[in-house]
Amino acid sequence: MRTHEHSTDASADAEAAAASPAPGSAPVPGSGGEASITVTTEGLPRWLDPVARAARTIEPRQLSRFLPPESGAGRQSAVLVLFGEGARGPELLLMERAGSLRSHPGQPSFPGGSLDPEDGDQTTTGPLRAALREAQEETGLDPHGVQLFGVLPRLYIPVSSFVVTPVLGWWRAPSPVGVVDPGETARVFTVPVADLTDPANRATAVHPSGHQGPAFLVESALVWGFTAGVIDRILHFAGWERPWDRAKQVPLDWRA
């Protein structure tokens, strides 16, 4: 995603509305009409039930004190929070921004980006299509193998005025992924959920601006900011979080 900043703050809209073709059908972004994409929990692995339940019940202020402007202002975007199952069990798909980028070089993130006009209505299926389209463009992901099963409340990033919808997906039929554009992405990788919940891999990131937030030291990467905040809240509300030392700090520099 091209919107990585220092905050993890939510607004309203707990779930995007979507038309409903056959339950469990694979979404196809941009294939014409609102009926080409859906959100369904049918057929999910049991271990994802707590995440799906959290997506249905979580309130915006349980995620953040920052809410999108009531005026509707803000740059609409979406990210794909994609859960798969690897050799070590449940895992998440992440990517790392290219080190040559001016904004947050080398920072890990979810695939995602701004909504395009062809994505459709920003209040219903637009974020769903944008999350899948951006993931395909950035990682080569085949969206036919992804089952969307939930949408978290929209998050607001005040420093950049981005309004971000986290779209939850189950990688039902995994496809090869990798760097599509080296100018934007340094690598694409997965992180076992077991590593994210391991207290030894958790810390508090401290930015020179004074901002503090959760961080994860996994896969030779420091995951912090927006992405870490979303992961942190998912682990918490899914009941997967383990006690960790919040006094353990990782300093960031001004380039972050």
Task: Report the range of poorest mean pLDDT among 52-66, 67-81, 96-110, 144-158.
Answer: 96-110
Tens of pLDDT, residues 138-194: 999 999 999 999 999 998 888 788 899 999 999 999 999 999 999 989 999 999 999
pLDDT exceeds 50 at position 86 = yes
pLDDT exceeds 80 at position 82 = yes
Residue carrying structure tokens 């993890």? 8
- Count other C-beta atoms under 10 Å from residue 206's C-beta: 16
Give the pLDDT confidence score for residue 11 in this predicted structure: 31
Give the pTM: 0.86
* Res. 106 pLDDT band, cuts 50 70 90: confident
% the chain with pLDDT above 70 = 84
Give the pLDDT confidence score for residue 247 in this predicted structure: 97
Round to whole Å and give the CA distance between 29 and 132.
Answer: 7
Give the pLDDT confidence score for residue 57 in this predicted structure: 94
Tens of pLDDT, residues 199-221: 999 999 999 989 899 999 999 99
Q: Is the CA virtual torsion 240, 66, 57, 190 positive or negative?
A: negative
Give the pLDDT confidence score for residue 21 in this predicted structure: 32
Give the pLDDT confidence score for residue 45 in this predicted structure: 98
Round to whole Å and give the CA distance between 198 and 200.
Answer: 5
Sequence-distant (≥ 6) Cβ neighbours of residue 235 within 8 angstroms: 193, 196, 197, 241
Give the pLDDT confidence score for residue 34 in this predicted structure: 44
Say how far residue 222 (Cα) sits from the centre of its chain.
Answer: 16
Give the pLDDT confidence score for residue 24 in this predicted structure: 38
Give the pLDDT confidence score for residue 102 in this predicted structure: 64
Work out the average pLDDT over 94-121.
86
